[in-house]
């Protein structure tokens, strides 16, 4: 459904144009990656492969993980998380979901 | 069911009264760096002899992080971010910032303001996507795309960028970036850790970039 919106501020500067994309916050979830694994997937309604992204907001574990240790990618109806670091302990991640299409 | 939706010229949903957006919080300039050259990350975009941890590095948490690189900056977003000196600026946005009312207001069903024409100046305008295609060989080649000189890269959607020590050795993995003359370049680097081929290669990588009207 093509459409378009334009807005200007009080000085006449264009602040929204017809081709812009905007970010929508879909919500938060958590997922646990078991010890000695490098990948986990989960379902989340509204996510798409081309129009969403997943942010690792925090990591909780007995080992020292940070959100930077993980790579996330959405697909239609869910997400896939990869562990990049060489740590092996289990970890629970807090994930924030966003859409832009 | 009542509600309000607006679509853009490509048919993408830009305003939906059921969802909050993300709203500008603040900006931090990345100027000085420490631990210069401590890690040796070398790829086709250069090496890390002139890179270090940004002293002002913005934590990796539930803020969305947006980075506007300066010309010739090199970046490896690890938190603390590993970058060249004076590499650029990091803006933050959040979904729970107060939304200012004005001109046209959009509320959700709970009566909460989620968008307004005044607040739009503090909502990042996503103009395009840095799209590394599925099956592109990012381990062994560079992906480049023009994004313009005023664009903010949505770092929070960059998959990884990780330097860590598991007790037996220090390794790293993730997308390494260089920005030159409006073009963003990227290669996946990896030592003792995961390659692009073993993680995201079948799926590709899509990173939104855009502008903040209140910062330009």
Q: Which residues contact A11 (CB under 8 A, 6 or more apart)?
A: none
pLDDT at A3: 83
Residues A64-75 pLDDT 10s: 899 999 999 999
User: Between residues A37 and A86, which one has the greater pLDDT?
Assistant: A37
Tokens 């970046």 sit on residue:
B75
**Helical (H) or strand (E) element with B144:** strand B143-146
Q: Note whether A2 contacts B9, CB cutoff 8 Å.
A: yes
**pLDDT tens digits, B58-96:** 999 999 999 999 999 999 999 899 999 999 999 999 999
pLDDT digits (tens, 9 = 90+) for B92-127: 999 999 999 999 999 999 999 999 999 999 999 999
Helix (H, G, I), strand (E, B) or coil at B155: helix
**Residue B120 distance to chain A (closest CA, Å):** 6
Dist. CA A47–CA A49, nearest whole Å: 7
Chain B residues whose beta carbon lies within 8 Å of the beta carbon of residue A76: none
> CB A23 to CB B126 under 8 A?
yes
Chain B, window 34-93: residues with a beta carbon less than 8 angstroms from a chain A beta carbon:
60-62, 64, 77-79, 93
Contact between B99 and B155 (Cβ < 8 Å): no
What pLDDT score was predicted for residue B44?
98
**pLDDT confidence tier of residue B1, bands split at 50, 70 and 90:** low
Q: What are B128's strand-pairing partners? A: B209
**Cα-based distances in Å from A4 to A7, A65, B11, B144, B214:** 10, 43, 8, 29, 21
CA distance A3 to chain B (A): 5
Question: Do the chains contact at A20 and B121, CB–CB below 8 Å?
Answer: no
- Give the angle subtended at the CA of A97 by the CAs of B13 and B136, to the nearest 5°: 85
pLDDT band of residue B166 (cuts 50, 70, 90) is low
pTM exceeds cut of 0.80: yes
Residues 6 or more apart from B44 whose CB is under 8 A from it?
B141, B142, B187
- The rounded distance, in Å, linking the Cα atoms of B167 and B35 is 20
Say whether B126 and A24 touch across the interface (CB within 8 A).
no
pLDDT > 90 in chain B, percent: 93
């Amino acid at each position: 459904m093509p459409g378009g919106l334009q807005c200007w501020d009080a000085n006449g500067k264009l602040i929204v144009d017809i081709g812009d994309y905007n970010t929508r916050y879909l919500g938060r979830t958590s997922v646990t990656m078991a010890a000695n694994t490098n990948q986990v997937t989960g379902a989340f309604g509204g996510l798409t492969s081309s129009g969403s992204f997943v942010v690792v907001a925090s990591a909780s574990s007995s080992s020292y993980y940070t959100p930077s240790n993980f790579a996330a990618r959405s697909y239609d109806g869910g997400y896939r998380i990869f562990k990049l670091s060489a740590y092996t302990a289990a970890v629970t991640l807090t994930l924030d979901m966003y859409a832009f299409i | 069911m009542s509600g309000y939706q607006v679509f853009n010229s490509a048919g993408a949903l830009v305003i939906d009264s059921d969802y909050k957006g993300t709203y500008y919080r603040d900006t931090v300039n990345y100027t000085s760096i420490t631990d210069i050259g401590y890690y040796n990350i070398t790829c086709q975009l250069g090496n890390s002899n002139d890179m270090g941890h940004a002293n002002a590095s913005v934590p990796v948490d539930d803020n969305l992080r947006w980075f506007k690189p300066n010309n010739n900056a090199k970046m490896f977003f690890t938190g603390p971010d590993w970058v060249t000196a004076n590499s650029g600026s990091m803006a933050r946005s959040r979904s729970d910032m107060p939304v200012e009312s004005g001109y046209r207001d959009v509320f959700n069903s709970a009566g909460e303001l989620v968008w307004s024409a005044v607040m739009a100046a503090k909502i990042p305008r996503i103009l395009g996507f840095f799209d590394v295609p599925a099956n592109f060989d990012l381990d062994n080649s560079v992906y480049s795309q023009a994004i313009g000189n005023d664009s903010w890269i949505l770092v929070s959607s960059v998959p990884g960028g990780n330097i860590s020590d598991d007790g037996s050795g220090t390794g790293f993995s993730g997308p390494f970036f260089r920005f030159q003359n409006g073009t963003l370049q990227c290669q996946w680097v990896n030592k003792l850790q995961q390659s692009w081929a073993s993680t995201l290669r079948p799926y590709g990588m899509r990173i939104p970039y855009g502008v903040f009207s209140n910062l330009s």
